[in-house]
Structure 1
Amino acid sequence: MTVLKIAIAGASGRMGRMLAETILASADTTLTGALDVAAAPAIGTDVTGFLGKNSGVLITSALADGLADADFLIDFTRPEGTLEHLAYCASHGIKMIIGTTGFDAAGKAAIAAAAEQTAIVFAPNMSVGVNVTMKLLEMAAKSFAEGYDIEIIEAHHRMKVDAPSGTALQMGEVIAKAVGRDLDEVGVFARHGVTGERDPSSIGFATIRGGDIVGDHTVLFAGIGERIEISHKSSSRVTYAHGSLRAARFLANKTTGLFDMQDVLGLR
């Protein structure tokens, strides 16, 4: 059995800790490195110390040290940090699984360019359930393209810094493509005051932030006399960790290329 050598970014954060725990529990993966920002209090400590056990992997801010033995980097941090990691990984042939959200067009272009040097899975949500939901939304949207108003409602914890969530935006993009629209033209991200009647071609977004909500997404297709709701609710970050490891296994025999979770799960 081939053992995948994986490093994680944002190692002392909530997602980083979940990744560390999941990698250690998987028979075909080993944790070889842990990165965090230089100001993080956990720098220099064992990455699994929070579990009451020592892995021998210390959290570092030095890319050369944290990635020295890694074949893969799983990154759920911030765009600026991920892009720094991306440049290093591309030049050193380290494959990446990117779950970071909030990239602008230039950031997405940088990821696409890096995929010419190394293999990358880039998805705003690594959950298997969410990505199956994306496929269901594509199918549903084709049937509800006319006569149904489309609204996307998402809720996350109070610490999330971008809105709408990357997952909500991906849902909007999947739906818009399925019905032949451009999300940049039909997306409505705020409503206030006298807005007038709803444009039937629009795709609306509503954002909720509060407490410790891991991630809830609902797409509402509202017609006359009926409404259809397709929802996904996350109760634990472990779903993202499991999806990330599936992505790493998918990349094991790839050298270059840009992929997403639809590719990983064979849903194309």
Structure 2
Amino acid sequence: MVRIIMHGCNGHMGQVITGIVKEDKDAEIVAGIDLVDNRDNGYPVFKSLKDCDVEADVVIDFASAKAEDALIDACLEKKLPVVVCTTGLSEEQLAKIREASREVAVLKSANMSLGVNTLLKLLQDAAKVLAPAGFDMEIVEKHHKHKLDAPSGTAIAMADSINEAMGNEYTYTYDRSGRRQERDPKEIGISAVRGGNIVGEHEVIFAGLDEVIEFKHTAYSKAVFAKGAVSAAKFLKGKGPGYYDMSDVIEANA
């Protein structure tokens, strides 16, 4: 049984994770952290992790980037492993999280979906075969109209995964509207679509002569990210200092 502190428990993802854990016999949320305490979650809620006096194995962080520094400081003080799911973090905050992993276990991933992280490995295998054969690579991502960043962190992670497999020889092109020139064979195109309530859709296209191969992941609800976060929390229980990502979770469960 993994005992979880839910950081951002009354936000949308915090509530999704709360619902999922209630149905999981191998996990329990023993406390929540949120500035707003306006509902009965079935566990005590504190305004900060520093104030929390409940024993736990790991923290799941799905909150605001503004709260990240205080969270990491408290995790270091309490020697608590943390699954960092909060997005929009600054370079300074990312550096602080990496530094914290020298003292506590930290898991950070651009996308918590087990499906997306399995796809990252498949893309590397495909790129090693198809890119040398002259296939062009394009990524198209679609999200709801309220998403602020473009392209998505997941799309960039996919491009990075492909690029790593190819020795980091490729550049990224985000917008071709200002150029009138033939496509560079050493580029990965990344396009962003925003509209409606699309949860998340990522398509990777390998386009060759007379044939096209496509890899696609579609998230129909945010529950896929919540399930991945809970799996990550189970993985992190009892781990010593170190920096992990979802590929470690997949490998451990293989």
Query: Scaled by the length of structure 2, what TM-score is found?
Result: 0.91
SS in 2 for 1:126: coil
- Aligned-partner residue type, residue 14 of structure 1: H
Q: What residue number does 2:37 align with?
A: 44
Q: Which residue is equivalent to 2:16?
A: 18
Contact 1:189 1:205 in 2 (8 A): yes
Map of 2:158 onto structure 1: 171
Aligned positions of 1:124-135 closer than 5 A: 124-135=110-121
Q: Structure 2 residue aligned with 1:256, among 241, 245, 249?
A: 241
**1:34 matched to 2:29:** no
Q: Which consecutive unaligned segments of at least 5 residues does structure 1 have?
A: 49-54
1:216 to 201, 217, 228: 201
| 8 A contact 2:31–2:43 mirrored in 1 | no
Distance in 2 separating the partners of 1:232 and 1:126: 13
CA distance in 2 between counterparts of 1:27 and 1:224 reads 51
Q: Kindly report which structure 2 residues correspond to 1:147-162, keeping only aligned pairs within 5 A, or say none.
A: 147-162=134-149
**Which residue type is aligned with residue 151 of structure 1?**
E
Q: Distance in 2 between matches of 1:198 and 1:90?
A: 48
State how far apart, in whole Å, the 2-side matches of 1:34 and 1:6 are. Answer: 9
Kept in 2: contact 1:150–1:219 (CA 8 A): yes
Distance 1:47 1:203, change over 3 A: farther
Q: Secondary structure at the match of 2:89?
A: coil
Decide whether the 8 Å contact of 1:20 with 1:47 is kept in 2.
no
In structure 2, distance between residues paired with 1:209 and 1:67: 42
Mean alpha-carbon deviation: is it higher for 198-207 or for 244-253? 244-253
Higher relative contact order (CA 8 A, sep 6+): 2
CA distance in 2, matches of 1:244, 1:67: 23
Equivalenced residue count is: 252
The letter of the residue matching 2:181 is: G
Match of 2:179 in 1: 194
Within the candidate set 136, 139, 147, 2:122 is matched to 136
The verdict on how the C-alpha distance between 1:71 and 1:195 changes in structure 2, with shifts beyond 3 A counting, is farther
Percent identity over the alignment is 36
Structure 1 distance, partners of 2:185, 2:165, is: 16
Please provide the CA RMSD for this pair. Answer: 2.0
1:85 aligns to 2:83 (yes or no): no
2:61 maps to which of 68, 72, 75: 75
Equivalent residue letter for 1:101: T
Residue 101 of structure 1 contacts residue 165 of structure 1 at CA under 8 Å; is this kept in 2?
no
List runs of 5+ in structure 2 lacking aligned partners.
none
**1:66 Cα shift?**
4.4
Give matches, 1:47-58, under 5 Å: 47-48=40-41, 55-58=42-45
What letter matches 2:6 in structure 1? I
**2:168 aligned residue:** 181
Structure 1 position 87, deviation (Å): 2.1
**Cα shift at 1:31:** 1.2
Letter of the 2:197 partner, please give it: D
TM-score (norm 1): 0.86
Cα separation, partners in 2 of 1:144 and 1:47, compared to 1, 3 Å: farther
Secondary structure of 1:265's counterpart equals helix
Distance 1:78 1:189 in 2: 27
Q: Work out the CA distance in 1 between the residues paired with 2:18 and 2:229.
A: 12
